Structure formats: structure tokens, C-alpha cells
Amino acid sequence: MNAKDKRGRTPLHRAAREGRKEVVELLIAKDADVNAKSESGLFKGETPLDEAIKRKRTEVADLLRKHGGKYGSINVAAKAGDVEALKEFIAAGVDANAIGLLSAAASGGHKEFVELLIANGANVAAKNEYGSTPLHNAATKEIAELLITNGADINAKINDGSSPLIAAAMKGRKEVVELLIAKGADVNARSESVLGEGKTALDWAVQQSHTEIAYLLRKHGGKTAKGR
């Protein structure tokens, strides 16, 4: 029932990941460990609830919670915006500066979660495993403003040289783009990696067909890498 594969995952992990509610119900009825944690790999320490949440298996997640299922990964809780779970993690001594945690909360669009992390000492300039800051990942204007108010660098660069403005333009986040421009972000900053090829925020907006953002950038002096 609780046999584990080479990564330490149980049948319940798999059923939760695949959204197989009836199988999950059967396994729970047979006393499967609802909080078993994977033991190796990139997602070490994750529970069946983490698997369900990551893949938006809402019914399965609710079922697991009903039977005492908890998060094993604070980053998954952050993306889900589960503030109560975050409070439990912090009370248990989890570091608010765990790698990628604030970025995960920012990308999930969960302002209350971001506020709680900052209140518990999270560094707004901390980079995640990909080298991006929380501001690069801010899903909403409100979260971006909160990060900036707490000292986030509006022109910070990630591993490929992209700025928060480039990230927002690429992802189609118009209100975040407006805020960054208003705060003085460099509208002609360029990404530097091979993939970025020196592209500006305008290049990315055009490439991703974000017409309104492209217009906004041009209005404020934005140009393509070719100076157009």
C-alpha cells in the first residue's frame, strides 16, 4: 500500500498526480499514508497533496485535505496561495528566505502570502533557482508595487540579463509594465543570453503579440534592438 518507487513516491502520489479520485479514495480507505514524502529527485519531500495541487487536481486535493493531507513543499503552498499552510511552515521554523519561495508566491499572484513572507524577513532581492527575482515573477501590479516599496530593484537582471520590465512585457502583464515604467525602469534594457539575443522589452512584446504593451513601450521611448 505504501510501497515506494525509486524516487520514494507511493501509489497515492501517482494517483493524486494523475487526478484519479476513485483510486485515491480506495488507497486512503486501505490506510495509505496521506502524508508520505518523496525521497529523492527535484521534488524531494513532496506529499500527495503537493502532487494534486501542482496539477490542479482540485477534487483530489480536497479529498486529501479531508483526510489530513498536508503540504510537504512550502513552495507548492506558496504557488497555491495557502496562507494558513505558510503560517504552519513558519511556526515550524521554515526559513522565509527558502530558495524561490517569495518568487513562487509572487508568480502565483497571492499578495497576502507575499506580505506574510516579507513580514517574516523574506529578501525581496533573493533569486530563485533560475536566477530571477520576485519582481521578475510578479503576476500583478499590486504585488509588484509591494515588492518595490520594500526595496526591490526595478532594473535587476537575471541569468540571461532580462530585467523585470522585459519579463512583464514577455508575459503580457500590462499593468506591471505600466508600473515599472512609472517607477523609472529602463525601457530599452536588453537581455544578454543567446536565447535573448539582445532583445528589448519592445522586441518581446512584439514577438508575443502583446500589442497594447508594445504601444505603451513605444509611447515611453521604447525601441527594438535594431533601434526601430
> What is the Cα–Cα distance from 163 to 219, expressed in whole angstroms?
19
Kindly state whether residues 31 and 89 are assigned to the same domain: no
Kindly state whether residues 81 and 135 are assigned to the same domain: yes
Kindly state whether residues 61 and 16 are assigned to the same domain: yes
Residue ending a domain, choose from 99, 134, 153:
153
Kindly state whether residues 3 and 67 are assigned to the same domain: yes
Phi-psi region of 131 (alpha: psi -120 to 50; beta: other; left: phi over 0): left
Kindly state whether residues 61 and 130 are assigned to the same domain: no
What is the chain's pLDDT, residue by residue, as a tens digit (228 residues)?
667 766 778 999 999 999 999 999 999 999 999 999 988 766 788 999 999 999 999 999 999 999 999 999 888 888 888 888 888 888 888 888 887 889 988 998 989 999 999 999 999 999 888 889 999 999 999 999 999 999 999 999 988 889 999 999 999 999 999 999 999 999 999 987 645 578 999 999 999 999 999 999 999 999 998 877
Residue ending a domain, choose from 115, 134, 153:
153
> What is the Cα–Cα distance from 57 to 123, expressed in whole angstroms?
31
Distance of CA 199 to the CA centre of its chain: 24
Kindly state whether residues 39 and 78 are assigned to the same domain: no
> What is the Cα–Cα distance from 118 to 114, expressed in whole angstroms?
6
Task: Count CB-CB contacts under 10 A for residue 84.
Answer: 8
Kindly state whether residues 144 and 168 are assigned to the same domain: no
Which pLDDT value is given to residue 1?
67
Kindly state whether residues 17 and 29 are assigned to the same domain: yes
Kindly state whether residues 84 and 60 are assigned to the same domain: no
Domain that holds residue 93: 74-153
Kindly state whether residues 59 and 15 are assigned to the same domain: yes
Q: What confidence tens digit (pLDDT) does each residue in 36-87 have?
A: 998 876 678 899 999 999 999 999 999 999 999 999 988 888 888 888 888 8
Kindly state whether residues 4 and 20 are assigned to the same domain: yes
Residues 6+ apart with CB under 8 A from 159: 130, 131, 132, 193
| CATH code, domain carrying 197 | 1.25.40.20
Kindly state whether residues 15 and 45 are assigned to the same domain: yes
Which pLDDT value is given to residue 80?
83
The tally of domains found in the chain comes to 3
- Angle CA(102)–CA(89)–CA(152) in degrees, nearest 5? 15
Residue ending a domain, choose from 57, 72, 87:
72
> What is the Cα–Cα distance from 228 to 223, expressed in whole angstroms?
5
Contact (Cβ atoms closer than 8 angstroms) between residue 46 and residue 16? no
Contact (Cβ atoms closer than 8 angstroms) between residue 118 and residue 146? yes
